[in-house]
């Protein structure tokens, strides 16, 4: 067991989550990295330990399965007694008009993008409190990867946009209820980021025209460096060359 700072990051096997893992590891955080496939998160954890000399472990969990979420937090707590940052990054996209949305699909999107965030926050709260109590000058941070679509919806992405709007609202509620005791939350709301999630767009928006995963990771690095007196409900990140309201 260690008293050093630690973080739990979901969706850390690739994309934005893997970049956030690099930035936090470079800042000396010990890490629990999660995604659905154990071998993927084991590989990421081994790379982080080799590159940064921190302690990291991979824990497989499927955010669509509520029964796996408390176990994920318990696995973090068994290794690290405090949680200085909870990064709610994993998410799923979904393309389709509202008219044709299937209710099971809507439930799945809301479970992965929103419901899991509520449950992971609830289970993590004792460890976030422990971090805030042990380091009152730094506090503890919850970072949720929402989306610019949760601020300015676009056609054919309505369920995804609604789930991300709900996540933004959750972050505001966390701040209302917990920021005074040192636990602050931020919804990061980017336009298109060049990851696997946006690979289907490559013929309409070239990856070079998208935000880079490490741009988002550096923002997360800045957020965890803030004192708990500074509450940042959300950061909207637009793409260069757009009017700032489109993904």
Ligand X SMILES: NC(=O)c1ccc[n+]([C@@H]2O[C@H](COP(=O)([O-])OP(=O)(O)OC[C@H]3O[C@@H](n4cnc5c(N)ncnc54)[C@H](OP(=O)(O)O)[C@@H]3O)[C@@H](O)[C@H]2O)c1
Q: Which residues bind ligand X (CB under 6 A)?
A: 10-17, 35-37, 40, 62-64, 89-92, 112, 145, 147, 190, 192-193, 195-198
Q: Which is nearer to ligand X, 134 or 201 (CB)?
A: 201
Q: Which is nearer to ligand X, 49 or 68 (CB)?
A: 68
Taking phi first (over 0 means left), then psi (-120 to 50 degrees means alpha), and beta for anything else, what does residue 104 get? alpha
Report in angstroms how near the CB of residue 36 gets to ligand X at its nearest: 3
Contact 42, 18 (CB under 8 A): no
Q: Which is nearer to ligand X, 197 or 235 (CB)?
A: 197
Report in angstroms how near the CB of residue 121 gets to ligand X at its nearest: 15
Q: Which is nearer to ligand X, 138 or 163 (CB)?
A: 163
Q: Which is nearer to ligand X, 1 or 39 (CB)?
A: 39
> Burial of 202 by CB count in 10 Å (0-12 exposed, 13-18 middle, 19+ buried)?
exposed
List all residues 6 or more positions away from 111 whose beta carbon is below 8 Å from its beta carbon: 63, 64, 66
**Gyration radius from the chain CA atoms:** 17
Instruction: Please tell me the number of Cα atoms within 13 Å of 192 on its side-chain side.
Output: 22
**Phi/psi at 208 (nearest 5 deg)?**
-65, -20
Report in angstroms how near the CB of residue 190 gets to ligand X at its nearest: 4
Q: Which is nearer to ligand X, 83 or 217 (CB)?
A: 217
Report in angstroms how near the CB of residue 194 gets to ligand X at its nearest: 7
**Own/partner long-range contacts of 125-131 (Cβ < 8 Å, ≥24 apart):** 125/183, 126/77, 127/73, 127/76, 127/77, 127/80, 127/81, 127/82, 127/83, 128/83, 128/84, 128/86, 128/183, 129/181, 129/183, 130/81, 130/82, 130/83, 131/5, 131/82, 131/83, 131/84
């Amino acid at each position: 067991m260690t008293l050093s700072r630690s973080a739990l990051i979901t969706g850390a096997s690739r994309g934005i989550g893997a970049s956030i893992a690099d930035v936090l590891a470079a800042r000396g955080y010990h890490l629990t990295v999660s995604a659905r496939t154990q071998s993927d998160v084991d590989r990421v954890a081994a790379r982080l330990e080799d590159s940064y000399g921190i302690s990291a472990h991979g824990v497989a969990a499927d955010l669509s399965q509520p029964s796996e979420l408390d176990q994920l937090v318990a696995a973090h707590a068994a290794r690290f007694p405090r949680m200085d940052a909870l990064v709610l990054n994993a998410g799923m996209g979904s393309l389709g008009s509202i008219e044709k949305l299937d209710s099971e699909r809507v439930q799945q999107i809301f479970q992965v993008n929103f419901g899991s965030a509520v449950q992971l926050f609830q289970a993590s709260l004792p460890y976030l409190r422990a971090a805030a109590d042990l380091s009152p000058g730094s506090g503890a941070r919850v970072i949720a990867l929402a989306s610019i679509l949760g601020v300015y919806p676009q056609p054919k992405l309505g369920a995804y946009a609604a789930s991300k709007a709900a996540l933004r609202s959750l972050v505001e509620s966390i701040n209302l209820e917990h920021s005074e005791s040192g636990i602050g939350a931020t919804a990061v709301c980017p336009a298109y980021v060049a990851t696997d999630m946006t690979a289907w767009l490559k013929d309409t928006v070239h990856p070079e025209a998208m935000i880079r995963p490490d741009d988002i990771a550096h923002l997360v690095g800045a957020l965890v460096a803030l004192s708990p007196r500074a509450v940042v409900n959300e950061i909207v990140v637009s793409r260069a060359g757009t009017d700032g309201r489109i993904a």
